[in-house]
A and B are shown apart, each in its own frame.
Chain A
């Protein structure tokens, strides 16, 4: 059981809330309180749009404990429209349609369950954007 850790990360995981640097305007995800661009404090919360593109990806057939029920699944580096690169699982997508540069959007999904009697952990994943929106 690791409840405090999951609880602390809820805000960023459920809705992709990061931070913005008031000095240089850089958008940070995950939130880290110090701007990596200009080294100034950055505490201001920032709601990301959830839109981005696949920067790179890898498909897993042997999953780590807790993720077995999703295999095969793809983990992607997603370049958010606002800049940061985020590592996340792709969902609702067929393996053969995934491409570098594919427009994706954030959805909140079940990441895993801590057994049948444990916590259900929710967080961001990305799915292919509908064609008309891309």
Chain B
């Protein structure tokens, strides 16, 4: 009974019995960029404008598996954990390369975590990464494992000409969860808020998703993000002023800015993690990629709030506290900003070719 009382804390937030934290993190952003002006040029004759500057596009030899492998290697480099000690490899994505066959076993094999590990793929639209993150937190927090790897990765597809095409981007992030004593950031608590809200979905065998246009805003994104964040902050007795930085899911630059404002965050608190304008919406990696950029620059003692959002719909809010281990770990792997600056702009034609939208008849 003692365990139940401790783990089921008030207002539905999650806190493991054993203190857990991030012992290693890694990011990856592919090299190619499609400027918003290119989509605008092709579909509105340059008169529509673009919500973002440019989005990251995977090369023709990249997919969720290869991007996950690079992020996982970066997380391992920072954690300096033996891969055979990782007891779960979990990949959250909506763009797994196979419909049946786990991405996670490919990643586990490539990083040397096989065979004594859990491995599975997670699916919850853009929330799949933080879902895997919380499961990894629970696996370590229960004492079943010392280390667990959670990945959020996507190579998002938008139908040509659709509003999504401007922003549907690509990136991956990997987090090794482990005991708090070894962590570069400890987890204070998390909170999830989930309802059946059909704002965005893709049926089997369909290449592109359908979305509810304005329905994706108020009843979907904002309702879930704000509820998860408010419940978590309330249960911790915290408010926006207690945080050095905050990052929210980023389907476009406007939504996270509005959510941050509603919660009382100032622009300087969200600036570092707001990567949508230069990467696009990285789906399961969106908020998590922002978190890696924040950790790249964080100071020991900083508190960081992360709130993801996945259509369908739900949000995970996670409160972290950076430790003094951050300073020794962060430069063992490339910073997120370095990947963002390593860019090669492409035009719409090359984009169509790389993303295999070109059908030859």
Q: Which of B57-77 contact A (CB under 8 A)?
A: 59-63, 65-66, 69-70
Say if the beta carbon of B110 comes within 8 Å of chain A.
yes
Is A23 positioned at the interface, with any CB of B under 8 Å from its CB? no
Asked if B110 and A70 make an inter-chain contact with CB atoms under 8 angstroms apart, the answer reads no
Contact indicator B70/A70 (Cβ below 8 Å): no
Q: How many residues of B contact A (CB 8 A)?
A: 23
Contact A109 B111 (CB under 8 A): no
* In the assembled complex, A92 has its CB within 8 A of some CB on chain B: yes
Docked CA distance A122–B66 (Å): 8
Query: Is the pair A109, B109 in contact by a Cβ cutoff of 8 Å?
Result: no
What residues of chain A lie closer than 8 Å to B342, measured between beta carbons? 130
* In the complex, B98 has a CB within 8 A of chain A: yes
Give the segment of A9-17, A29-37, A54-62, A75-83 that binds chain B.
A9-17
In this complex, which of B63, B66, B338, B344 has the most chain A Cβ atoms within 10 angstroms of its Cβ?
Answer: B66
- B 311-361 contacts with A by CB, 8 A: 334, 338, 342, 344, 353, 356
Verify A111–B111 contact, CB threshold 8 A.
no
Inter-chain contact A122/B31, CB cutoff 8 Å: no
Task: Scan A1-44; emit 1 where CB is below 8 A from any B CB, else 0.
Answer: 00000000011001100000000000000000000000000000
Q: Which residues of B contact A70 (CB under 8 A)?
A: 60-61
B219 on the A face (CB < 8 A): no
Nearest-Cβ distance from residue A57 to partner chain B, whole angstroms:
17
Separation in Å of the A76 CB from the closest CB of chain B?
A: 15
With a cutoff of 8 Å between Cβ atoms, the chain A residues found around residue B97 in the complex are 120
Contacts of B301 in A (CB 8 A): none
> What 0/1 pattern do residues 105 to 121 of A give for CB contact below 8 A with B?
00111110000000010
Contact of A108 with B98 at beta-carbon distance under 8 Å, contacts A69-B60, A92-B59 already known: no
A125 within 8 A of B: yes
Whether A109 and B31, one on each chain, are in contact in the complex, defined by CB atoms closer than 8 angstroms, is no
Note all chain B residues with C-beta closer than 8 A to A130.
Answer: 334, 338, 342
Q: Give B77-111 as 1s and 0s: 1 = Cβ < 8 Å from A's Cβ atoms.
A: 00000000000000000000110000000100111
B62-A110 in contact (CB<8A): yes
From B63, B70, B109, give the contact of A14 (CB < 8 A). Answer: B109
A14 with B60, Cβ < 8 A, contacts A122-B65, A130-B334 known: no
* C-alpha spacing A107/B109, complex, angstroms: 14
When A107-B70, A130-B334, A130-B338 are in contact, do A122 and B110 touch as well, CB less than 8 Å? Answer: yes
CB distance from B349 to the nearest CB of A (A): 14
On whether the beta carbons of B63 and A110 are closer than 8 Å, the reply is yes
Min Cβ gap A6→B in Å is 12
Chain A positions within 8 Å of B334 at CB level: 130
A70 to B350 alpha-carbon distance, docked (Å): 12
Contact of A111 among B61, B69, B70 (CB under 8 A): B61
> Is B112 an interface residue when CB atoms closer than 8 A count as contact?
yes
What is the CB-to-nearest-CB distance from A9 to chain B, in angstroms, rounded to a whole number? 12
Indicate with 1 or 0, residue by residue over B143-184, a CB within 8 angstroms of chain A CB atoms. 000000000000000000000000000000000000000000
Cβ–Cβ contact A91 & B59, under 8 A: yes
**CB-nearest residue of chain B to A94:** B344
**A125 and B109 contact, CB distance less than 8 A:** no
- Nearest Cβ in chain A — how far from B58, in angstroms? 10
- A interface residue numbers (CB < 8 A to B): 10-11, 14-15, 47, 69-70, 91-92, 94, 107-111, 120, 122, 125, 130
Q: List 11 A-B contacts (CB under 8 A).
A: A10-B109, A11-B109, A14-B106, A70-B61, A91-B61, A92-B59, A120-B63, A120-B97, A122-B65, A122-B110, A130-B338
Interface contacts beyond A109-B66, A130-B334: sample of 5 additional A-B pairs, CB < 8 Å, sorted by A: A14-B106, A14-B110, A108-B69, A110-B60, A122-B110
Closest 6 CB pairs of A and B: A14-B110, A109-B61, A110-B61, A108-B69, A92-B31, A109-B66
